[in-house]
Amino acid sequence: MRKKIATLRRLKNILRRSTAKRVVFTNGCFDILHYGHVAYLEKAKALGDILVIGLNSDASVRRLKGKARPINNETDRARVLAALACVDYVVLFSQDTPLELIKTLRPNVLVKGGDWDVSCIVGAEEVLADGGKVCVIPYIKSRSTTGIIDKIRRIS
């Protein structure tokens, strides 16, 4: 499992040697892993050979989601993601967006969840310019980390 959690330098070297493989990249906080995440990641993996997750660091999550987040720290979140059979590599990033990761790793497929317009997806321009593909996988209705946190608050 820990071999799946990689530094950017190590991951870049691994992917450089995997030129015949189709690399799929997605990113997120993955704070409280739930069925919506798992279904999304399984669909993302089906789009290629190697699934790489760019995982927001704790500092990045706090800037994006507020002081009360993340619920689970970056080490725990990375380990849980790495335990999934569909995930090949997890790499942490501390910026607000994964643009530098995408530019460095140059995936063949960039995946986002929800109802994003491709023109608004960070890194889409770079992936498309490299001849890659950008895919949007719809969310599963009523499955969200925020919804889980709200439910816990109501029963507390």
- Tell me the per-residue pLDDT of 3-19, one tens digit each, with 9 for 90 and over: 999 999 999 999 998 88
Rounded to the nearest integer, the mean pLDDT of the chain is 93
Q: Is the peptide bond before 70 cis (omega within 30 degrees of 0)?
A: yes
Q: How far is CA 153 from CA 12, 61, 98, 131, in A?
A: 41, 20, 31, 45
pTM of the model: 0.92
**Where do runs of H (alpha helix) occur along the chain?**
8-16, 35-45, 58-65, 74-82, 99-105, 124-129, 145-155
pLDDT value for 24: 98
Query: Does position 62 have pLDDT exceeding 80, yes or no?
Result: yes
Render pLDDT for 121-156 as a digit per residue (tens, 0 to 9): 999 999 999 999 999 998 877 677 777 777 777 887
Please say whether the structural domain 2-155 has been given the CATH code 3.90.1280.10.
Answer: no
